[in-house]
Amino acid sequence: MQTDMNKAEKSDKTKILNFLREKSGEPFCDDCLSLETGVSPPDRVYRICRREWGRGKIVRAWGGKCAKCGEQKILNYVPYGERSPTDVNLPVFSGDNF
Ligand SMILES: [Zn+2]
């Protein structure tokens, strides 16, 4: 178990994961996740999402459009239930270009 995560960051992580699960299948960029969850700065969202992606909790991929701002950015999402991630904007892994 990692113990280097402080309490605030842990609750921020929970906010992000809960939001993405609630919106499962919909991809969001770091900036919009920051706005939607109140976790700021976006850099913090970035760090949390990278870590959760590393743990396999979320998908982080380049190649689709954000469900909120419509920008083509690196997106975070949780595939869930019957909705296949391939149905949603087709984010795909393309190596480590992020
Ligand atoms: Zn966005």
CATH number at residue 66: 1.10.10.10
Q: What is the rounded average pLDDT of the residues 60-71? A: 93
Inside any domain, residue 85:
no
Domain that holds residue 73: 7-79
Are 25 and 83 in contact, with CB atoms under 8 Å apart? Answer: yes
How many domains does the chain fold into?
1
Inside any domain, residue 12:
yes
When pLDDT is cut at 50, 70 and 90, the band that residue 4 belongs to is low
Q: 33 C-alpha to center of ligand 1: Å? A: 7
Task: Identify residue 67 by its one-letter amino acid code.
Answer: A
Q: 21 C-alpha to center of ligand 1: Å? A: 17
Per-residue pLDDT of 10-33, as tens digits, reads 899 999 999 999 998 899 999 999
pLDDT of residue 94: 45
Inside any domain, residue 93:
no
Inside any domain, residue 89:
no
Whether residue 86 has pLDDT greater than 50: no
Containing 74, the helix (H) or strand (E) segment is strand 72-77
Helix axes 42-54, 7-22, angle to 10 degrees: 80
This prediction has a pTM of 0.75
Inside any domain, residue 95:
no
Inside any domain, residue 21:
yes
Q: 29 C-alpha to center of ligand 1: Å? A: 4
- Provide the 3-class DSSP secondary structure of residue 71: coil
Inside any domain, residue 91:
no
Give every CB contact of residue 11 below 8 A, 6+ residues apart in sequence. none
String of DSSP letters for 2-24:
-----HHHHHHHHHHHHHHHHTT
Inside any domain, residue 97:
no
